[in-house]
Amino acid sequence: MSDTMKARVKWIEARTFLGESGSGHAIVMDGAPESGGRDLGIRPMETLLLGMGGCTAFDVVHILEKSREKVKDCILEMEAERAPDDPKVFTQIRLRYLVSGKDLSREKVERAVNLSAEKYCSASIMLGESAEIGHEIVLLDEAD
DSSP state letter for 116? I
Cβ neighbour number for residue 28 with a 10 Å cutoff: 12
Alpha carbon separation from 16 to 31, 36, 38, 76, 82 (Å, rounded): 7, 9, 8, 27, 22
Domains annotated on the chain, with CATH: 1-42 (2.20.25), 44-141 (3.30.300.20)
Biggest alpha carbon–alpha carbon distance for the chain: 51
To the nearest whole percent, how much of the chain has pLDDT over 70? 98
Per-residue pLDDT, 143 = 65
Q: Please, are residues 76 and 117 in contact by the beta-carbon 8 Å criterion?
A: no
Q: Give the tens place of pLDDT for each residue, 65-93.
A: 999 999 999 999 999 999 999 999 999 99
Which helix (DSSP H) or strand (DSSP E) does residue 63 occupy?
helix 44-66
